């Protein structure tokens, strides 16, 4: 069954994406016009010839307008929605297509794609009706946990002093991004849209392919994940791919301090000291609460498992299952000091490193699966045990605390 | 003035001094209370330990150039085998056998690699363990020797005859030959040549008879394979692509050859040039050992 279902899913997605692709329809129109033209030539119907030619020119214009790169659904729809108010010609001198069906379903499709973070931003939220706003906020509180403002201790600095930093409130995903969620990004043509990617990696996008050469995470095939791994965290993605997905859904990667605060949940105990947890559930290792070496199946598990290991803020699997990319550059561990005058530490081959947090299913030592422990990985590495979750600054959300009290209480729980 | 002390004459104590202690590694006869063998320099504690069980232990040699990860691999292997509850398991015999495991684990847990093995046989890592297999009733006594890479290199280069290395090569029932993948990926071939030299040296030792080296199992282990994911997919194919001369040599001279890929820790080069383990993620560590044990005659 599994062997049959995988190609079927790939096939269905390909058909769907083809049907949504304007290039495909313009090709159909061109072919129809050509058939009509040939028919009219034999029958000598001037009306038929005229219709065929008009149809063919329209198809050619449409094809030129969209180019050879498939247009992602969300982005084309967004462009349509944005230009729908004015029929002014665009840069190519073409009048944008007005598709009322797509226009009306755009926010719904964005909600389906887990891009609710874009809909709760102030400028966009004020254009939505109340029902959509409620839906977006419900999704926001359902999928993200609030980490309140406050101090967090990043650990002992080189001088022996603890380094405490103040953080503004931030929302962090309750689960790591799953294969299913990441698939929406791939399906929407995320790998073909330079706008979502850092400028310095655009030329390297062609290298981010799966086992069959299609754009996508490293361990996928034919641009799709294995169906049984739908709810597993997506792995085999570089830091750039994680950052691009986060940008696509209107979020960002959390920095080290935010991740640490979400996991260790510091409490000010007076005298300038902070009580921080060693693990999200407490200060003692309990291997039944996390997917680590010796406690799990030695591979990834669905993101909703290990519910007894959630953090105070309700975030799942902050420790175990997969390492999580953070936005912070990685500094080498203590003991390896940088010589005076040397540049910031970078990995061999001059590839910079980013911080990764939380340990994975194959993390061997308890000491390397704590909230405080951090490791690093090269930004281009696409490892089997590194995934990510996204963050969103609370200040970017319109009316964050003005929803119904029930929602707020639910989120805090 | 020394006081006179009257002690009873215990004949059995004299007897044990009269009987020489034959070194388990090189067969040199030492006095009973010697700390290291005068022939090869191996610790006599190993011999004391090896003579206690009913069945004589078998030796497995871990061979590789300096810095290829012999000590880290062996230390992690022992820790993994000691924690196991099913499959092949191992119990250390003697305090000196636990030291390697302890030092390696402590170092890796604090994000550093253990110190380099010193070029003195008494300071090499010798591990005597009792290996339990599910299918077998009686456990196997195995001694794993982790000699210094410099000592093996010196022996192979002919800079000086190293009695401990030559005795180890002759006595070992199987060999783990380690090749550093990070060096292979960087375009280097020193690791491959080192492996070919070591295997050639083994092959020359004993070419005929039941104990000929061509009949003994040899596991070629690619260490630090986390730098190349394809190495894990098919180590033999990786070897054929990147170390073709080693593969050819193995096929022609040895009948039991296996290729494996392992990785203990994700490491990186620090600003001072030293390797820093960023996190410990053991992969396929036990596989070569299991393969060897299954093919080593009792």
Q: pLDDT tens digits for B151-165? A: 888 888 875 578 888
pLDDT at B9: 65
The pLDDT of residue A155 is: 79
- What's the confidence (pLDDT) of residue B269? 73
Q: Is A360 an interface residue toward B (CB < 8 Å)?
A: yes
Tokens of B22: 């034959």
pLDDT above 60 for A104: no
Is A379 touching B (CB cutoff 8 A)?
no
Helix (H, G, I), strand (E, B) or coil at A267: strand
pLDDT value, residue A158: 52
pLDDT over 60 (residue A257): yes
A347 versus A201: the higher-pLDDT residue is A201
- Residue of A364 and A93 predicted with greater confidence: A364
Query: Which CATH class, in words, describes the domain spanning A147-412?
Result: alpha beta
Using the predicted structure, report yes or no on whether residue A30 has a pLDDT greater than 80.
no
Q: Looking at residue A118, what is its pLDDT?
A: 93
Chains A and B form CB pairs within 8 A to the count of 60
**Which residues in chain B have Cβ-Cβ distances shorter than 8 Å to A339?**
271-272
Coil/strand/helix, residue A21? coil
Hey, are the CB atoms on A338 and B271 less than 8 Å from each other?
yes
Interval A299-325 mean pLDDT: 96
Closest CA to B42 of B116, B115, B145: B145
- DSSP strand pairing (B263-269 vs B275-283): antiparallel
Residue among A389, A390, A360, A361 nearest A375 (CA): A360
What stretches of A98-197 adopt beta strand conformation (E)? 144-147, 150-156, 162-167, 170-173
User: Looking at residues A26-42, what average pLDDT do you find?
Assistant: 59
| Domain residue limits, chain A | 147-412
Instruction: Find all residues with CB under 8 Å of A27, minimum gap 6, and list them.
Output: A59, A63
ipTM of the complex: 0.82
Cβ distance of A339 and B83 shorter than 8 Å: no
B32 token code pair: 């009973």
Average of per-residue pLDDT across B100-120: 87
A333 interfacial to chain B (CB closer than 8 Å): yes
Q: What is the DSSP letter of A286?
A: -
CATH (one of 3.40.50.880, 3.30.830.10, 2.40.10.120, 3.40.50.300) for B18-295: 3.40.50.300
**Cα–Cα distance, B94 to B168 (Å, whole number):** 20
- Across chain B, mean pLDDT equals 85
Flag whether residue A395 sits within 8 Å of chain B, measured between CB atoms: no
Tens digits of residue pLDDT in A174-192: 999 999 999 999 999 999 9
The CA-CA-CA angle for residues A82, A83, A89, to 5°, reads: 155
Tens-place pLDDT, residues B10-54: 666 666 667 788 888 888 888 877 888 887 888 888 888 877 767
Burial class, B2, CB count within 10 angstroms (exposed 0-12 / middle 13-18 / buried 19+): exposed
Residues 263-302 of A with CB under 8 A from B: 293-294
Residue A247's pLDDT band (cuts 50, 70, 90): very high
Contacts of A86 (CB under 8 A, 6+ apart): none
Q: Structural domain boundaries of chain B?
A: 18-295
Determine, for residues A368 and B280 on separate chains, whether the beta-carbon distance falls below 8 Å: yes
A291 SS3 class: coil
Separation CA B16–CA B8 (nearest Å): 16
Closest partner residue to B111 among A323, A333, A342, by Cβ? A333
pLDDT at position B20 is 80
Contact B276 A353 (CB under 8 A): no
8 Å CB contact between B101 and B79: yes
Question: pTM for the whole thing?
Answer: 0.77
């Amino acid at each position: 069954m599994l062997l049959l279902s995988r190609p079927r899913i790939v096939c269905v997605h390909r058909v769907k994406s083809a049907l949504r692709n304007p290039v495909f329809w313009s090709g159909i129109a061109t072919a129809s016009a050509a058939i009509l033209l040939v028919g009219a030539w034999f029958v000598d119907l001037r009306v038929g010839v005229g219709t065929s030619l008009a149809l063919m020119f329209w198809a050619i214009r449409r094809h030129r307008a969209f180019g050879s790169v498939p247009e992602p659904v969300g982005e084309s729809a967004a462009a349509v929605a944005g230009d729908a108010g004015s029929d002014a010609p665009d840069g190519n001198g073409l009048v944008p297509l007005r598709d009322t069906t797509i226009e009306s379903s755009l926010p719904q499709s964005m909600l389906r794609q887990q891009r609710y973070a874009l809909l709760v931003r102030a400028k966009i939220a004020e254009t939505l009706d109340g029902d959509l706003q409620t839906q977006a906020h419900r999704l926001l509180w359902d999928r993200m946990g609030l980490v309140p403002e406050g101090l967090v201790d990043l650990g002992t600095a080189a001088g022996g002093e603890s380094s405490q930093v103040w953080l503004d409130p931030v929302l962090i995903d309750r689960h790591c991004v799953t294969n299913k969620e990441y698939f929406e990004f791939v399906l929407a043509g995320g790998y073909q849209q330079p706008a979502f990617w850092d400028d310095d990696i655009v030329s390297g996008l062609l290298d981010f392919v799966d086992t069959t050469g299609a754009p996508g995470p490293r361990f996928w095939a034919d641009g799709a994940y294995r169906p049984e791994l739908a709810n597993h965290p997506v792995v085999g993605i570089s830091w750039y791919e994680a950052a691009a997905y986060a940008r696509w859904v209107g979020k960002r990667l959390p920095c080290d301090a935010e991740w640490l605060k979400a996991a260790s949940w510091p409490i000010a105990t007076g005298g300038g000291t902070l009580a921080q947890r060693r693990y999200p559930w407490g200060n003692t290792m309990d291997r039944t609460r996390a997917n680590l070496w010796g406690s799990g199946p030695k591979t990834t598990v669905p993101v909703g498992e290990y519910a007894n290991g959630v953090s105070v803020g309700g975030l799942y699997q902050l420790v175990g299952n997969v390492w999580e990319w953070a936005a912070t550059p990685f500094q080498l561990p203590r003991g390896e000091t940088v010589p005076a005058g040397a540049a910031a530490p970078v990995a061999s081959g001059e590839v910079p490193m980013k911080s990764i947090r939380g340990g994975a299913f194959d993390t061997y030592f308890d000491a390397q699966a704590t909230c405080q422990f951090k490791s690093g990985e090269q930004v281009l590495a696409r490892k089997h045990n590194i995934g990510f979750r996204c963050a969103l600054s609370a200040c970017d959300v319109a009316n964050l605390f003005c929803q119904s009290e029930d929602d707020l209480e639910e989120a805090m729980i | 003035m020394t006081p006179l002390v009257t002690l009873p004459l215990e004949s059995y104590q004299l007897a044990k001094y009269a009987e020489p202690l034959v070194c388990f590694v090189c067969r040199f006869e030492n006095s009973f209370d010697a700390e290291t063998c005068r022939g090869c320099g191996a610790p006599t504690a190993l011999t004391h330990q090896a003579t206690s069980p009913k069945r004589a232990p078998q030796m497995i040699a871990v061979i590789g150039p300096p810095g290829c990860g012999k000590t880290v691999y062996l230390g992690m292997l022992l820790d993994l085998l000691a924690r196991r509850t099913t499959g092949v398991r191992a119990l250390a015999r003697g305090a000196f056998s636990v030291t390697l495991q302890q030092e390696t684990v402590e170092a890796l847990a604090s994000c550093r690699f253990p110190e380099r093995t010193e070029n003195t046989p008494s300071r090499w890592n010798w591990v005597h363990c009792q290996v339990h297999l599910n299918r077998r009733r009686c456990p196997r006594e195995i001694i794993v020797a982790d000699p210094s890479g410099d000592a093996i290199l010196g022996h192979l280069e002919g800079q000086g005859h190293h009695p401990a290395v030559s005795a180890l090569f002759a006595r070992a029932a199987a060999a783990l030959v380690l090749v550093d993948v990070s060096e292979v990926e960087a375009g280097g071939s020193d690791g491959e040549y080192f492996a070919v030299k070591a295997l050639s040296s083994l092959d020359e030792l004993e070419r005929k008879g039941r104990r000929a080296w061509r009949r003994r199992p040899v596991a070629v282990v690619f260490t630090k394979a986390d730098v190349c994911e394809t190495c894990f997919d098919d180590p033999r194919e990786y070897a054929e692509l990147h170390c073709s001369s080693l593969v050819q040599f193995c096929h022609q001279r040895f009948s039991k050859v296996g290729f494996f890929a392992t990785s203990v820790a994700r490491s990186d080069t620090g600003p001072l040039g030293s390797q820093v383990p960023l996190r410990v993620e053991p992969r396929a560590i036990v596989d070569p050992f299991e393969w060897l044990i299954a093919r080593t005659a009792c």
